[in-house]
Structure formats: structure tokens, C-alpha cells
């Protein structure tokens, strides 16, 4: 089958002779929007969900991850993801961006901008994992784990899917495998390895500030236009369609979760609505450049139903304390989206047919679904194994979990000598 690797993602000057100003301006904007998703969007979203004595620790973890990942991406991450022709991992030929100059191009945009845009993806992915171990991992362990994980998990899988690697046939427009499955599976493994919080399932652990959470969620919704729309790497119809389907799926996910919860438990909650929105966004991400509006509506509805039940199953049936539901929302959402795009990208579905990316190409649904399932299994399996090993290594070096007394009093004072609130 023809490779559907997004060639525009590869930093090769050969694909364009002239840098396009409109494309450059749009990707500059998208880059800012994606960074905005982490700082302050995700930080506030997560910060409001934890208890008040852990708010500062979560904000600091997101902030510090943004800093350390940026440096590591510049030094080696970008090169490992987007250099060389090895199917498994890139090389260090672009160490410290040695080959990136003011004149080098990636498609119709400067390569420096492409590297920066991809850096924002590298930042938010380990930041998402914070939700799996929130309120109980040492700050030193967070930094060490995130650093190793970026180079050992994120960079290779990025190369597999987007950098010319062995999963290049996978339809993953903006990170269903690369971002959401990796982050979700890693969060699940981290939650299992660390064990539950002391109060988990003994008493409710409600969010301490839903206003903060909703504010952060709103920032994520807006920022996601850069996440998905920017992945077109151009200012045109593909980007516009990606933004449209992203918005539709987010709205469908939010409303589906809200009404499902309303029927099941008697009240529509703000937390449920914003969680459904995030589920819709995560699920549409791999499909955003390949599906049309009607397909996006179905994907968003499926996301709301599937991710809602996944949250209940993970917490109540398996009793896993994935603190902020990273795996059931992002992991399951990424899996669903990666599989569903193999179906809804087809041109043979009438109003539900795909409309973006490579819509002029024919697709055999059964063949493409096989490719998508392969990508899901490979990404999840490698992420789970590598994350487990990294966590065990970090545990030997720094220890993973704070002591019981620190967990009770909160991580803010013990880890940072500060509190989030002085009222």
C-alpha cells in the first residue's frame, strides 16, 4: 500500500524552494497556541483538579517539564525524531540543531519554526502524564522521568510515525499515537507502579477549584486549533478543515458526556462537560486532517461514551488511581481516534467521507484499519514496557514516591517550601 507519511513533516528543503509567508505566519501562531495549551492551559486544568495543598506542585511540574523538555529537544530530541532513514530511530546528525540555519526550510516554512512547533508537542506529551501520578511523585523523580522518557519513548515513536520510520503508513495527523496513546499508557503504568493515593476509594477526592479547571479547559479548547490545524504545516483548506472538525468533535464530546452523565447520575456536572470536551479533542486529533465534519461529529459522540465508561472501569473495576484520568481520556481517546480514522478517512461513506490531507487518494478500509491497529499495538506495547523500565530506574536513583506524611500534608510545602494560597 502507498505510504501516507505526511511528507511535509519531514525537514527537507527539497519539498519547497521558497518559504511561504502565509504558511509561516500560521505555523508561528499555531506554535504559540500549542505552548499555550501547556502553559497555562493544562497547568490550570490539572491544578484545579488536585487538592489545594498540591496545586503549586502540579503547576511547577508542568512549568519545569516545559523548560527541561525544551532544552533536551534542542540538544538531541529533534534530531532523534527527524533525522536519518533508520526505521526505528533517528541519528544525532542534527545535534543541537547544527544543521538548522536561518535559510533552511521544512516544506514551505523555516526549519527553525518546524523544530519549534514540534517542540511544543514534545512539551505537552510528558506534561499530560503528570495527571497519572499527581499528588504523590517526588519532584526530582518527575524531572528525571520526564527527561529520560522524552528521549527513550517520545522521540523514537515520533520518528516511527512522522519522521520516516516503520509506521509511516499510519494515519496520524496530529498525534493520536505520538502524543495521546504514549501519554495515556505512560500515565497508566505510572499510576500502577506508584500505587494509589492514601485516600483513594476511601473517601471522595474532589477538585479544589473547578473555576480554575474550567478556565484551563477553555484554554485547551482554543489552543487545540493550533495543535490540529497547525499540523497541516500550511495556511489553506487542510488547516481550515482540521480546525472545523476539531471544534465539532470537542462540542460533541462535551455534550455527549454531559447528557450521558445527566441520565446516569441525575446531574450534568461542569467537570464532566469539560472532560468530555477533552476526550473529543484527543479522539479527533489523529483524524483531524483526514475526516469531514459529519465524521467528526460521530467521532466526538463515540469519544464521549467510550471515555466516560473507561473512567468508571479504570477507577471502580480495576481500582487504578490514575489521578486525573489521563489513560481513560487521552489513552483510550487516542486509541479510538487512531482506529476510527482508518474508517472515516474513506471517500466511500457519503456525507461521512473524509475530506482532508490526501482525500484524492483511494483507501481500502480493511487494509488501513490493519495499519492503524498495528500502530496502536506497537505504540502502546513499547510505551508500557519502556515506561515501566524508566520508572524502576528512576526509583533506584531518586525514589519515586513521597513519604506518607508528605502526601497527607501536600507536596507544595515539602517540595517547594511554598503554598499555592495564602488566605
pLDDT tens track, the chain, 423 positions: 334 444 444 444 444 458 999 999 999 999 999 999 999 999 999 999 999 999 999 999 999 999 999 999 999 999 999 999 999 999 999 999 999 999 999 999 999 999 999 999 999 999 999 999 999 999 999 999 999 999 999 999 999 999 999 999 999 999 999 999 999 999 999 999 999 999 999 999 999 999 999 999 999 999 999 999 999 999 999 999 999 999 999 999 999 999 999 999 999 999 999 999 999 999 999 999 999 999 999 999 999 999 999 999 999 999 999 999 999 999 999 999 999 999 999 988 999 999 865 544 678 899 999 999 999 999 999 999 999 999 999 999 999 999 999 999 999 999 999 999 986
CB count in 10 Å sphere of residue 214? 19
The pLDDT value recorded for residue 363 is 81
- In a domain, residue 318? The reply is yes
Domain count, the chain: 1
Backbone angles phi, psi at 276, to 5 degrees: -65, -40
- In a domain, residue 156? The reply is yes
The pLDDT value recorded for residue 360 is 43
- In a domain, residue 52? The reply is yes
- In a domain, residue 309? The reply is yes
Q: Is 149 exposed, middle or buried (0-12, 13-18, 19+ CB in 10 A)?
A: buried
**C-alpha span between 323 and 318 (Å, rounded):** 13
The pLDDT value recorded for residue 140 is 98
**C-alpha span between 215 and 217 (Å, rounded):** 5
The pLDDT value recorded for residue 356 is 63
Q: Which residue has the cell 499508557?
A: 185
Domain around 341:
17-413
Q: Is the preceding peptide bond at 40 cis, omega within 30 degrees of 0?
A: yes
The pLDDT value recorded for residue 358 is 52
CB count in 10 Å sphere of residue 104? 17
The pLDDT value recorded for residue 280 is 98
- In a domain, residue 10? The reply is no
**C-alpha span between 184 and 338 (Å, rounded):** 14
Write the CB contacts of 312 (distance below 8 Å, at least 6 apart in sequence).
none
CATH code for the domain in which residue 146 is found: 1.10.3430.10
- In a domain, residue 5? The reply is no
- In a domain, residue 195? The reply is yes
The pLDDT value recorded for residue 357 is 54
Rg (the chain; Cα; Å): 20
- In a domain, residue 6? The reply is no
Amino acid at each position: 500500500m502507498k505510504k501516507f507519511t505526511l511528507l511535509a513533516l519531514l525537514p527537507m528543503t527539497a519539498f519547497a524552494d521558497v518559504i511561504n509567508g502565509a504558511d509561516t505566519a500560521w505555523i508561528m501562531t499555531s506554535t504559540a497556541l500549542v505552548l499555550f495549551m501547556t502553559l497555562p492551559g493544562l497547568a490550570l486544568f490539572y491544578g484545579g483538579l488536585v487538592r489545594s495543598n498540591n496545586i503549586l506542585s502540579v503547576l511547577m511540574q508542568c512549568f519545569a517539564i516545559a523548560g527541561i523538555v525544551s532544552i533536551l529537544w534542542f540538544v538531541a530530541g529533534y534530531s532523534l525524531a527527524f533525522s536519518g532513514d533508520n526505521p526505528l530511530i533517528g541519528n544525532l546528525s542534527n545535534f543541537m540543531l547544527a544543521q538548522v540555519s536561518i535559510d533552511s526550510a521544512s516544506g514551505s516554512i523555516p526549519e527553525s519554526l518546524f523544530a519549534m512547533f514540534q517542540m511544543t508537542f514534545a512539551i505537552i506529551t510528558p506534561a499530560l502524564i503528570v495527571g497519572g501520578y499527581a499528588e504523590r511523585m517526588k519532584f526530582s523523580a518527575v524531572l528525571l522521568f520526564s527527561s529520560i522518557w522524552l528521549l527513550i519513548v517520545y522521540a523514537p515513536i515520533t520518528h516511527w510515525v512522522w519522521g520516516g520510520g516503520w509506521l509511516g503508513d499510519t494515519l496520524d495527523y496530529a498525534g493520536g499515537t505520538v502524543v495521546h496513546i504514549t501519554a495515556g499508557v505512560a500515565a497508566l503504568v505510572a499510576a500502577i507502579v506508584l500505587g494509589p493515593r492514601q485516600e483513594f476509594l476511601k473517601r471522595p477526592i474532589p477538585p479544589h477549584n473547578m473555576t480554575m479547571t474550567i478556565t484551563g479547559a477553555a484554554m485547551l479548547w482554543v489552543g487545540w486549533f493550533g495543535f490540529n490545524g497547525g499540523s497541516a504545516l500550511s495556511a489553506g483548506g487542510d488547516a481550515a478543515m482540521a480546525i472545523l472538525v476539531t471544534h465539532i468533535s470537542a462540542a460533541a464530546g462535551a455534550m455527549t458526556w454531559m447528557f450521558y452523565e445527566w441520565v446516569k447520575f441525575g446531574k450534568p456536572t461542569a467537570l464532566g462537560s469539560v472532560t468530555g470536551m477533552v476526550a473529543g479533542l484527543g479522539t479527533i486529533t489523529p483524524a483531524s486532517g483526514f475526516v469531514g465534519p459529519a465524521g467528526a461529529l460521530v467521532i466526538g459522540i463515540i469519544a464521549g461514551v467510550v471515555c466516560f465508561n473507561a473512567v468508571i472501569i479504570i477507577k471502580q473495576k480495576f481500582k487504578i488511581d490514575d489521578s486525573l484520568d489521563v489513560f481513560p481520556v487521552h489513552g483510550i481517546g487516542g486509541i479510538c481516534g487512531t482506529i476510527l480514522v482508518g474508517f472515516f478517512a474513506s471517500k466511500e461513506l457519503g456525507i461521512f467521507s473524509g475530506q482532508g490531507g490526501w482525500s484524492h487518494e483511494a483507501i481500502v478500509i480493511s487494509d488501513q484499519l490493519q495499519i492503524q491497529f498495528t500502530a496502536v499495538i506497537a505504540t502502546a506495547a513499547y510505551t508500557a514496557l519502556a515506561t515501566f523500565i524508566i520508572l524502576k530506574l528512576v526509583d533506584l536513583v531518586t525514589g519515586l514516591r513521597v513519604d506518607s506524611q508528605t502526601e497527607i500534608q501536600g507536596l507544595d510545602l515539602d517540595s517547594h517550601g511554598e503554598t499555592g494560597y495564602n488566605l
